[in-house]
Structure 1
Amino acid sequence: MPWVESYEGTAYHPNIEADLERQQNIAKEFEHIIVLASFLAGDRLSLASYAHGETGVKERPGIWADLDFNEPQVIKSYLNYCRDLIARFQPDYFGYVAEVDSAFTDINDNRFSKLRELAKTIYTTLKNEYPDLIIFAEFNLGDRPYMKERSEVISALLPYSDIYALSTYPARFEKIAGDASKLSDNWFTLARRYAADKPIAVLETGFHAEHFMHPKLGVKVSDHDQRLLIPGGQKSQALYTKQLLEAAHQMNMPFINLWTVHDLDALFALLEKNDPETRTSMLRLAMDMGLYDQDGKPRPSLDIWDAWLSLPLQTDI
């Protein structure tokens, strides 16, 4: 977050401005636009770092270092940033926080109370200013124990979201462990229990088409310098794609987004070159989830995706 500039109403760093303009140009190619911003840091527990521009992301400077979710400066800065993104992209859907229930499970946690206060202020303010815009928070969908642990947090935050937008990566849960045939029929319908009367959508999801290998986590593999954390395969990915699309149809989801379309091997090679610690990052979970592999070769899941995409759109539901 460019906290300082958004608060003061001054220009962003040229690098940030250039990146936003790049994304705006890409967005012009599409009929429907979803924009997601977030005030949460990567740990999903604390306030986002400072997007400086010259040096990328760093600790929040000066007084910003100690500010909490519900501070007036944070509220003003984040509202200004959201307004700017809405003006730039004119989105159909606007998300103001990512995976808000990822780390918090206790509604009595003082940090959660402050987060909830910020979420309420951001949502209600933006909704009053943009009544026709669908404004949402992003939640997580996991197995039954995972969801039960977060049920109170979800209930506390769902009033500040027009839809129940989900991040879900079933392969990472132990009972599934990369095998889509172990995914129960009620994986997605489980979301209905928590969605109240909100429409359900999938903001991000994916399934491993290759084994996820990690240098530190998982089972040691003979004659290999990495460990096996989560198995994966093209067959399982194709089955999950089919399950996902069938659920989206049956539940009348307004949208689903895959993460990602193309494998990210080249990106992670670049990231690891600039920051060796990326090699041990759990972000690498997304590296081999593409409908296309690292060489651009289509996987079987692409045929399933394209078959559904070619069907006529139902407008009478």
Structure 2
Amino acid sequence: MSGQGRPWAALLLAALLAYPGPVRAQDGPWMGFFPSPARIEWSSLLATLRGIGRHADAVLLQRNVPWEAFERGPEADSRRFADLANLVRLSREQGLEPIFVVDALNGLDRRAFQGVPAAWGPPSFADPRIRRAFKNFAVRIARTYRPRYLGLGSEVNTYMTAHPEDAPHLVSLYLETYAAVKRASPATRVFTTFQWDELRAAPGGPDWSLIEAFEPRLDLWVISSYPCLWLGGRAPGAGYYAPLARRTDRPLALGEGGCASRGSGRRPGSDQNQIAYLNAVADQLGPRLAFWIYLLYNDLDLEAYREAIGSDRDLQTLGMFTRMGLTDADGRPKPALQTWDRIRRRLRTSPQ
């Protein structure tokens, strides 16, 4: 699951003239959210960012590649890049620093590419056009923002498992892009993300080769984790993340994740499980975290997203995540928000 660049984003942000604001000093891990508004409205986006600004340090800006524009070069004139720039300005106005992720895949189906022109034929990481566009887009972000953190792909192990014939091409593109980003912005810490619950549930335990194929060019190990979706609504128990912490000495990060306060069917949710999830991450990974991104600050109004999502299948998948916010869709806090704030205070003052 990820925050994708959707057509409505241009409508929300086209008229934005926000200025960069001061960035708060930071001790401990950056903690933050995807800036996903409860409804597809300007006022909702602004309310979400203001709410995040009161409870976080960062936003994760995950964007699909504008393939045709950036296939031509890193300095492409792209409306979607301009919208991203405006969102960066608005986030910084709230004291929030961006963490960027360049995403080739569909956030609601990690086995598939997102937005590749049909005229290019079946997409593959071996396609020189896809490789150029991906690399150019990442380099443009690195040159423009010199970010502290830049991700090159999201939950890539899901794609690698589904398409083993294309996995070596995905890895080689990551390695090439890593080098290009470092030339553009040497201090940027570069990573890709891995879906931890899927790795952990594999027969025989995690296939570490799916992560270690990217070494030594992983500046930190970053996962996504939605354990309540894998455990029938239950929160993770003690030791759920222990194999990850034992496997590497690198810094760790949570690039996205959450647990629903309400659910349905085989995936029930509860306030208690949401709180337990936050405590499990903090207790098992907290001292090692470079950053921690929770999926949603506020719940999503699924009906408001129906037209933007389009696909019934994607809408059904999105429905599994809409009640993961730490407030409801109208901004009323859930009990877990207090837990989040308490953890954030503790981790910001703990020795790293």
Q: Structure 1-normalised TM-score?
A: 0.79
Partner of 1:110: 165
Cα shift at 1:169:
0.2
Q: Is the 8 A contact 1:248 1:256 kept in 2?
A: no
Superimposed CA distance per residue, residues 14-73 of structure 1 (whole angstroms, 9 cap, x where no aligned partner): 3x24522331222323353311111234443444424xxxxxxxxx153x3345313333
Q: Tell me, yes or no, if structure 1 residue 271 matches structure 2 residue 305.
A: yes
1:94 matched to 2:157: no
Question: Match for 2:211 among 154, 165, 177?
Answer: 154
Q: Distance in 2 between matches of 1:65 and 1:233?
A: 44
The reply to whether residue 245 of structure 1 matches residue 311 of structure 2 is: no
Does 1:125 find its partner at 2:180? yes
Distance 2:159 2:349 in 1: 37
Q: Secondary structure of 2:182's match?
A: helix
| Structure with greater contact order relative to length (CA < 8 Å, sep ≥ 6) | 2
SS in 2 for 1:36: strand
Q: What is the aligned partner in structure 2 of residue 205 from structure 1?
A: 257
Structure 2 gap ranges (5+): 1-64
Which residue of structure 2 lines up, in the alignment, with residue 219 of structure 1? none
TM-fit CA distance, 1:106: 7.8
> Is the deviation greater in 20-29 or in 129-138?
20-29
Instruction: Tell me which residue corresponds to 1:225.
Output: none
Give the match for residue 303 of structure 1: 338
Identity within the alignment, % = 23
Gap regions ≥5 residues in structure 1: 51-59, 214-227
Counterpart-to-counterpart distance in 1, 2:113 and 2:89: 29
Aligned partners of 1:203 and 1:256 also within 8 Å? yes
Please state how far the C-alpha of 1:130 moved relative to its aligned partner.
Answer: 2.5
What one-letter code is carried by the residue in structure 2 that aligns with 1:119? Y
Q: Using the alignment, how far apart are the partners of 2:239 and 2:96 within structure 1?
A: 32
Work out whether 1:44 is the aligned partner of 2:110. yes
Contact 1:208 1:233 in 2 (8 A): yes
Q: Which residue of 2 aligns with 1:55?
A: none
Q: How far, CA to CA, are the matches of 1:121 and 1:279 in structure 2?
A: 31
Deviations along 1:243-283, one digit per CA (max 9) or x if unpaired, are 2222343x321111111110012xx2122245361675212
Q: Deviations over 1:181-219 (max 9, x none)?
A: xx221112221244x2321111111001001x4xxxxxx
**1:27-106 matched pairs, under 5 angstroms:** 27-29=91-93, 30=95, 32-42=97-107, 43-50=109-116, 60-62=117-119, 64-66=120-122, 68-105=124-161
Matched, 1:5 2:5: no
Distance 1:315 1:32, change over 3 A: farther
Residues 122-148 of structure 1, C-alpha deviations (whole Å, 9 max, x = no match): 122323432211000011111733383
Change (3 A) 1:8 1:280: closer
Q: Distance in 2 between matches of 1:312 and 1:178?
A: 27
Report the residue type matching 1:238 in the other structure: I
Residue of 239, 262, 271 corresponding to 1:186: 239
Contact persistence 2:239–2:284 (CA under 8 A): no
- Report the count of equivalent residues: 282
Structure with the greater alpha carbon radius of gyration:
1
Distance 1:4 1:309 in 2: 41
User: 2: distance between equivalents of 1:44 and 1:160?
Assistant: 22
- 1:312–1:110 Cα change, 3 Å: closer
Query: Residues 95 and 28 of structure 1: is their aligned pair in 2 closer, same or farther, counting only changes over 3 Å?
Result: same
**Where does residue 171 of structure 1 map in the other structure?**
228
Question: Letter of the aligned partner of 1:102 in structure 2?
Answer: T
- Could you say if the C-alpha distance between residues 309 and 113 of structure 1 is closer, same or farther in structure 2, counting changes exceeding 3 Å? closer
What CA distance in whole angstroms lies between the structure 2 residues aligned with 1:33 and 1:129? 18
